[in-house]
Amino acid sequence: MSGPVIRPRLLDSTHGSSVQGREGGLFGIVLISIYTSSGNDYHAVIHFQTGRIVTIAIDIRNLSFTYEERQVLHDINLQVHEGDFLGIVGPNGSGKSTLLKLILGLLRPGEGSITLFGEDSLSFTQRHRIGYIAQRASSVNLGFPATVSEIVASGLLSRQHFLGRLKPVHKESIQAAIRMVGLAPHSDQMLGKLSGGQQQRVFIARALVSEPELMIFDEPTAGVDGESMERFYQLLEDLHCHHGKTMILVSHDIGVITTRVNKVACLNRELYFHGDNLDFIAQQESILDRAYRHSVQVISHGH
Protein backbone atom coordinates (compact mmCIF):
# COMPACT_ATOMS: atom_id res chain seq x y z
CA MET A 1 0.00 0.00 0.00
CA SER A 2 1.41 3.40 -0.88
CA GLY A 3 1.91 5.85 1.99
CA PRO A 4 0.06 9.12 2.51
CA VAL A 5 0.82 12.00 0.17
CA ILE A 6 2.49 14.75 2.19
CA ARG A 7 2.26 18.24 0.77
CA PRO A 8 5.54 20.13 0.90
CA ARG A 9 4.11 23.21 2.56
CA LEU A 10 2.67 21.03 5.30
CA LEU A 11 5.90 19.28 6.17
CA ASP A 12 8.76 21.65 5.56
CA SER A 13 11.99 19.78 6.15
CA THR A 14 13.90 23.03 6.68
CA HIS A 15 11.85 23.44 9.86
CA GLY A 16 12.79 19.97 11.11
CA SER A 17 9.17 18.90 11.47
CA SER A 18 7.97 15.92 13.43
CA VAL A 19 4.57 14.27 13.31
CA GLN A 20 2.57 12.93 16.22
CA GLY A 21 -0.50 10.80 15.65
CA ARG A 22 -3.64 10.22 17.69
CA GLU A 23 -6.52 8.01 16.63
CA GLY A 24 -9.64 10.07 16.12
CA GLY A 25 -11.94 7.14 15.44
CA LEU A 26 -14.41 9.27 13.50
CA PHE A 27 -14.91 8.60 9.81
CA GLY A 28 -11.60 6.75 9.57
CA ILE A 29 -9.60 9.89 10.25
CA VAL A 30 -6.49 10.30 12.36
CA LEU A 31 -5.84 13.74 13.78
CA ILE A 32 -2.22 14.77 13.76
CA SER A 33 -0.30 17.74 15.02
CA ILE A 34 2.86 18.82 13.28
CA TYR A 35 5.27 20.77 15.40
CA THR A 36 7.94 22.80 13.69
CA SER A 37 11.08 24.34 15.06
CA SER A 38 9.63 27.75 14.16
CA GLY A 39 7.00 27.16 16.83
CA ASN A 40 4.00 26.68 14.51
CA ASP A 41 1.64 23.88 15.39
CA TYR A 42 -0.10 22.77 12.23
CA HIS A 43 -3.09 20.52 12.58
CA ALA A 44 -4.07 18.13 9.87
CA VAL A 45 -6.10 15.00 9.27
CA ILE A 46 -5.22 11.82 7.42
CA HIS A 47 -8.05 10.40 5.36
CA PHE A 48 -7.64 6.63 5.28
CA GLN A 49 -9.67 6.19 2.13
CA THR A 50 -7.48 8.47 0.04
CA GLY A 51 -4.29 8.19 2.06
CA ARG A 52 -3.88 11.96 1.91
CA ILE A 53 -2.89 14.30 4.67
CA VAL A 54 -5.28 17.24 4.58
CA THR A 55 -4.43 20.59 6.13
CA ILE A 56 -6.93 22.24 8.41
CA ALA A 57 -7.23 25.57 6.61
CA ILE A 58 -9.31 27.25 9.33
CA ASP A 59 -9.49 26.13 12.94
CA ILE A 60 -12.03 28.04 15.06
CA ARG A 61 -12.04 27.22 18.75
CA ASN A 62 -14.46 28.40 21.42
CA LEU A 63 -15.05 31.64 19.53
CA SER A 64 -17.38 34.26 20.99
CA PHE A 65 -17.82 37.84 19.80
CA THR A 66 -19.76 40.80 21.17
CA TYR A 67 -20.58 44.15 19.50
CA GLU A 68 -20.81 46.69 22.30
CA GLU A 69 -23.06 44.73 24.69
CA ARG A 70 -24.68 42.35 22.22
CA GLN A 71 -23.16 38.90 21.83
CA VAL A 72 -23.57 37.84 18.18
CA LEU A 73 -21.42 34.69 18.23
CA HIS A 74 -21.28 32.22 21.10
CA ASP A 75 -18.79 29.39 21.59
CA ILE A 76 -18.27 28.50 17.92
CA ASN A 77 -16.08 25.49 17.14
CA LEU A 78 -15.57 24.87 13.44
CA GLN A 79 -12.87 23.42 11.23
CA VAL A 80 -12.56 23.93 7.50
CA HIS A 81 -10.38 21.30 5.85
CA GLU A 82 -8.40 21.88 2.70
CA GLY A 83 -10.69 20.93 -0.21
CA ASP A 84 -13.94 21.62 1.65
CA PHE A 85 -16.69 23.58 -0.05
CA LEU A 86 -18.50 24.89 3.02
CA GLY A 87 -21.84 26.65 2.83
CA ILE A 88 -22.75 28.86 5.79
CA VAL A 89 -26.46 29.40 6.22
CA GLY A 90 -28.43 31.29 8.86
CA PRO A 91 -31.17 33.92 9.22
CA ASN A 92 -30.62 37.67 8.85
CA GLY A 93 -28.42 39.01 11.63
CA SER A 94 -27.26 35.54 12.69
CA GLY A 95 -23.58 36.51 12.64
CA LYS A 96 -22.47 35.10 9.26
CA SER A 97 -20.67 38.24 8.03
CA THR A 98 -19.22 38.83 11.49
CA LEU A 99 -17.76 35.32 11.40
CA LEU A 100 -16.17 36.03 8.00
CA LYS A 101 -14.70 39.31 9.30
CA LEU A 102 -13.22 37.44 12.25
CA ILE A 103 -11.74 34.81 9.91
CA LEU A 104 -10.24 37.57 7.75
CA GLY A 105 -8.65 39.15 10.83
CA LEU A 106 -10.74 42.33 10.48
CA LEU A 107 -12.22 41.81 13.94
CA ARG A 108 -10.60 40.51 17.12
CA PRO A 109 -12.23 37.49 18.81
CA GLY A 110 -13.73 38.37 22.20
CA GLU A 111 -13.01 34.85 23.41
CA GLY A 112 -11.42 31.86 21.72
CA SER A 113 -9.14 31.73 18.70
CA ILE A 114 -9.02 31.41 14.92
CA THR A 115 -6.07 29.79 13.20
CA LEU A 116 -5.47 30.14 9.45
CA PHE A 117 -3.10 27.58 7.95
CA GLY A 118 -1.54 27.17 11.39
CA GLU A 119 -1.17 30.93 12.13
CA ASP A 120 -3.30 33.09 14.41
CA SER A 121 -5.78 35.12 12.30
CA LEU A 122 -4.66 38.40 13.88
CA SER A 123 -1.01 37.95 12.96
CA PHE A 124 -1.59 36.06 9.69
CA THR A 125 0.83 37.42 7.10
CA GLN A 126 0.08 35.28 4.03
CA ARG A 127 -2.99 37.19 2.88
CA HIS A 128 -2.52 36.11 -0.75
CA ARG A 129 -3.54 32.58 0.32
CA ILE A 130 -7.09 33.85 0.91
CA GLY A 131 -9.37 35.41 -1.69
CA TYR A 132 -12.40 37.32 -0.41
CA ILE A 133 -15.33 38.22 -2.63
CA ALA A 134 -17.76 40.59 -0.96
CA GLN A 135 -21.32 41.31 -2.00
CA ARG A 136 -20.95 42.77 -5.48
CA ALA A 137 -22.97 45.93 -5.07
CA SER A 138 -21.21 47.07 -1.93
CA SER A 139 -17.66 46.16 -2.92
CA VAL A 140 -16.73 48.80 -5.52
CA ASN A 141 -18.01 51.85 -7.28
CA LEU A 142 -19.17 50.29 -10.55
CA GLY A 143 -18.71 53.62 -12.35
CA PHE A 144 -14.98 53.53 -11.57
CA PRO A 145 -13.22 54.08 -14.94
CA ALA A 146 -11.17 50.89 -15.19
CA THR A 147 -11.02 47.96 -17.59
CA VAL A 148 -11.48 44.33 -16.65
CA SER A 149 -7.69 43.76 -16.87
CA GLU A 150 -6.97 46.75 -14.61
CA ILE A 151 -9.47 45.62 -11.98
CA VAL A 152 -8.04 42.09 -12.03
CA ALA A 153 -4.47 43.49 -11.86
CA SER A 154 -5.39 45.32 -8.64
CA GLY A 155 -5.67 41.86 -7.04
CA LEU A 156 -1.88 41.63 -7.24
CA LEU A 157 -1.44 44.66 -4.98
CA SER A 158 -1.81 42.37 -1.99
CA ARG A 159 1.49 40.83 -3.08
CA GLN A 160 3.14 44.26 -3.18
CA HIS A 161 3.25 44.46 -6.95
CA PHE A 162 2.59 47.83 -8.49
CA LEU A 163 0.57 48.30 -11.63
CA GLY A 164 3.24 50.30 -13.46
CA ARG A 165 5.83 47.63 -12.85
CA LEU A 166 3.95 44.53 -13.87
CA LYS A 167 6.28 41.93 -15.32
CA PRO A 168 5.28 39.67 -18.23
CA VAL A 169 4.68 36.85 -15.76
CA HIS A 170 2.16 39.01 -13.87
CA LYS A 171 0.44 40.02 -17.09
CA GLU A 172 0.10 36.33 -17.95
CA SER A 173 -1.37 35.62 -14.46
CA ILE A 174 -3.93 38.39 -15.03
CA GLN A 175 -4.96 36.99 -18.41
CA ALA A 176 -5.07 33.43 -16.99
CA ALA A 177 -7.43 34.57 -14.21
CA ILE A 178 -9.63 36.36 -16.77
CA ARG A 179 -9.71 33.23 -18.95
CA MET A 180 -10.58 31.07 -15.94
CA VAL A 181 -13.79 33.05 -15.37
CA GLY A 182 -14.65 33.06 -19.09
CA LEU A 183 -14.13 36.79 -19.73
CA ALA A 184 -11.20 36.72 -22.19
CA PRO A 185 -13.14 38.55 -24.94
CA HIS A 186 -13.94 41.37 -22.46
CA SER A 187 -10.50 41.98 -20.92
CA ASP A 188 -10.18 45.50 -22.36
CA GLN A 189 -13.79 46.50 -21.72
CA MET A 190 -14.80 48.98 -19.01
CA LEU A 191 -16.26 47.34 -15.92
CA GLY A 192 -19.39 49.50 -16.02
CA LYS A 193 -20.27 48.17 -19.50
CA LEU A 194 -20.60 44.57 -18.28
CA SER A 195 -23.69 42.78 -16.95
CA GLY A 196 -24.09 42.15 -13.21
CA GLY A 197 -23.09 38.49 -13.59
CA GLN A 198 -20.01 39.41 -15.65
CA GLN A 199 -18.98 42.03 -13.09
CA GLN A 200 -19.21 39.41 -10.37
CA ARG A 201 -16.87 37.18 -12.39
CA VAL A 202 -14.40 40.09 -12.71
CA PHE A 203 -14.22 40.25 -8.90
CA ILE A 204 -13.65 36.51 -8.74
CA ALA A 205 -10.80 36.89 -11.26
CA ARG A 206 -9.36 39.70 -9.12
CA ALA A 207 -9.37 37.32 -6.15
CA LEU A 208 -7.96 34.45 -8.26
CA VAL A 209 -4.98 36.37 -9.61
CA SER A 210 -2.99 35.96 -6.39
CA GLU A 211 -3.65 32.21 -6.61
CA PRO A 212 -5.43 31.84 -3.27
CA GLU A 213 -5.96 28.39 -1.79
CA LEU A 214 -9.01 29.48 0.18
CA MET A 215 -11.82 31.55 -1.37
CA ILE A 216 -14.53 33.18 0.73
CA PHE A 217 -17.77 34.46 -0.82
CA ASP A 218 -20.21 36.61 1.18
CA GLU A 219 -23.68 36.53 -0.43
CA PRO A 220 -22.09 36.71 -3.87
CA THR A 221 -25.25 36.48 -5.96
CA ALA A 222 -27.17 39.38 -4.43
CA GLY A 223 -28.65 41.29 -7.38
CA VAL A 224 -27.47 38.80 -10.03
CA ASP A 225 -30.08 37.44 -12.46
CA GLY A 226 -31.03 33.73 -12.67
CA GLU A 227 -29.05 32.77 -15.77
CA SER A 228 -25.89 34.53 -14.54
CA MET A 229 -26.39 32.89 -11.17
CA GLU A 230 -26.38 29.41 -12.72
CA ARG A 231 -23.20 30.25 -14.62
CA PHE A 232 -21.70 31.67 -11.45
CA TYR A 233 -22.34 28.46 -9.48
CA GLN A 234 -20.88 26.40 -12.31
CA LEU A 235 -17.73 28.52 -12.01
CA LEU A 236 -17.59 27.88 -8.26
CA GLU A 237 -17.93 24.14 -8.85
CA ASP A 238 -15.14 24.29 -11.43
CA LEU A 239 -12.85 26.18 -9.01
CA HIS A 240 -13.57 23.62 -6.30
CA CYS A 241 -13.47 20.41 -8.35
CA HIS A 242 -10.87 21.18 -11.00
CA HIS A 243 -8.68 23.84 -9.41
CA GLY A 244 -8.66 22.38 -5.90
CA LYS A 245 -9.81 25.55 -4.13
CA THR A 246 -11.10 25.40 -0.58
CA MET A 247 -14.28 27.45 -0.55
CA ILE A 248 -16.63 29.11 1.90
CA LEU A 249 -19.94 30.43 0.61
CA VAL A 250 -22.37 32.45 2.73
CA SER A 251 -25.85 32.35 1.26
CA HIS A 252 -29.47 32.72 2.27
CA ASP A 253 -30.37 30.28 -0.46
CA ILE A 254 -30.61 26.93 1.29
CA GLY A 255 -31.37 25.19 -2.03
CA VAL A 256 -27.93 26.24 -3.26
CA ILE A 257 -26.23 25.30 -0.02
CA THR A 258 -27.55 21.76 -0.05
CA THR A 259 -26.84 20.99 -3.69
CA ARG A 260 -23.62 22.84 -4.51
CA VAL A 261 -21.46 22.48 -1.41
CA ASN A 262 -20.17 19.38 0.38
CA LYS A 263 -20.22 20.75 3.94
CA VAL A 264 -22.82 22.89 5.68
CA ALA A 265 -22.64 25.10 8.79
CA CYS A 266 -25.92 26.42 10.16
CA LEU A 267 -25.43 29.48 12.34
CA ASN A 268 -27.60 31.65 14.50
CA ARG A 269 -25.33 33.08 17.19
CA GLU A 270 -24.49 29.45 17.99
CA LEU A 271 -23.57 26.71 15.56
CA TYR A 272 -26.61 24.45 15.11
CA PHE A 273 -25.05 22.10 12.60
CA HIS A 274 -21.72 21.48 10.95
CA GLY A 275 -21.18 18.45 8.74
CA ASP A 276 -21.73 16.83 5.36
CA ASN A 277 -24.38 18.34 3.13
CA LEU A 278 -26.20 14.99 2.81
CA ASP A 279 -26.47 14.74 6.59
CA PHE A 280 -27.78 18.30 6.62
CA ILE A 281 -30.41 17.46 4.00
CA ALA A 282 -31.53 14.41 5.99
CA GLN A 283 -32.03 16.49 9.16
CA GLN A 284 -32.76 19.84 7.51
CA GLU A 285 -36.22 20.39 8.94
CA SER A 286 -35.31 19.93 12.59
CA ILE A 287 -32.01 21.84 12.25
CA LEU A 288 -33.67 24.82 10.61
CA ASP A 289 -36.56 24.69 13.02
CA ARG A 290 -34.18 25.03 15.97
CA ALA A 291 -31.82 27.52 14.32
CA TYR A 292 -34.49 29.79 12.87
CA ARG A 293 -36.66 29.46 15.99
CA HIS A 294 -39.83 28.43 14.17
CA SER A 295 -39.75 31.43 11.85
CA VAL A 296 -38.18 29.46 9.06
CA GLN A 297 -38.84 30.40 5.46
CA VAL A 298 -36.73 28.11 3.36
CA ILE A 299 -35.78 29.70 0.05
CA SER A 300 -35.12 26.88 -2.39
CA HIS A 301 -34.57 27.38 -6.09
CA GLY A 302 -34.32 23.64 -6.72
CA HIS A 303 -30.93 23.75 -8.47
Count of alpha carbons within 13 angstroms of residue 245, beta-carbon side: 26
Strands 214-218 and 130-133 turn out to be parallel
Handedness of CA 246, 44, 281, 292 (dihedral sign): negative
Asked if 251 interacts with ligand ATP (CB under 6 A), we say no
Cβ closest to ligand ATP, residue 94 vs residue 173: 94
Find the shortest distance in angstroms from Cβ 204 to ligand ATP.
20
User: Judged by CB under 6 A, which of 93, 192, 226, 275 binds ligand ATP?
Assistant: 93
Asked if 216 interacts with ligand ATP (CB under 6 A), we say no
Give bridge partners of residue 265 from the DSSP assignment: 88, 274
Count of positions (residues) in the chain: 303
Find the shortest distance in angstroms from Cβ 61 to ligand ATP.
19
The CA distance from 274 to 77, in Å, is: 9
Asked if 108 interacts with ligand ATP (CB under 6 A), we say no
Show contacts with ligand ATP in window 65-84 (CB under 6 A): 67-68, 72
Cβ closest to ligand ATP, residue 170 vs residue 252: 252
The CA distance from 58 to 114, in Å, is: 7
Asked if 201 interacts with ligand ATP (CB under 6 A), we say no
Cβ closest to ligand ATP, residue 69 vs residue 188: 69
User: Judged by CB under 6 A, which of 71, 97, 147, 154 binds ligand ATP?
Assistant: 97
The CA distance from 5 to 51, in Å, is: 7
User: Judged by CB under 6 A, which of 94, 210, 246, 284 binds ligand ATP?
Assistant: 94
User: Judged by CB under 6 A, which of 92, 141, 160, 295 binds ligand ATP?
Assistant: 92
In contact, 280 and 248? CB cutoff 8 Å: no
Q: Among 294, 256, 257, which residue's Cα sits nearest to residue 273?
A: 257
Query: Binding residues for ligand ATP, per CB under 6 A?
Result: 67-68, 72, 90, 92-98
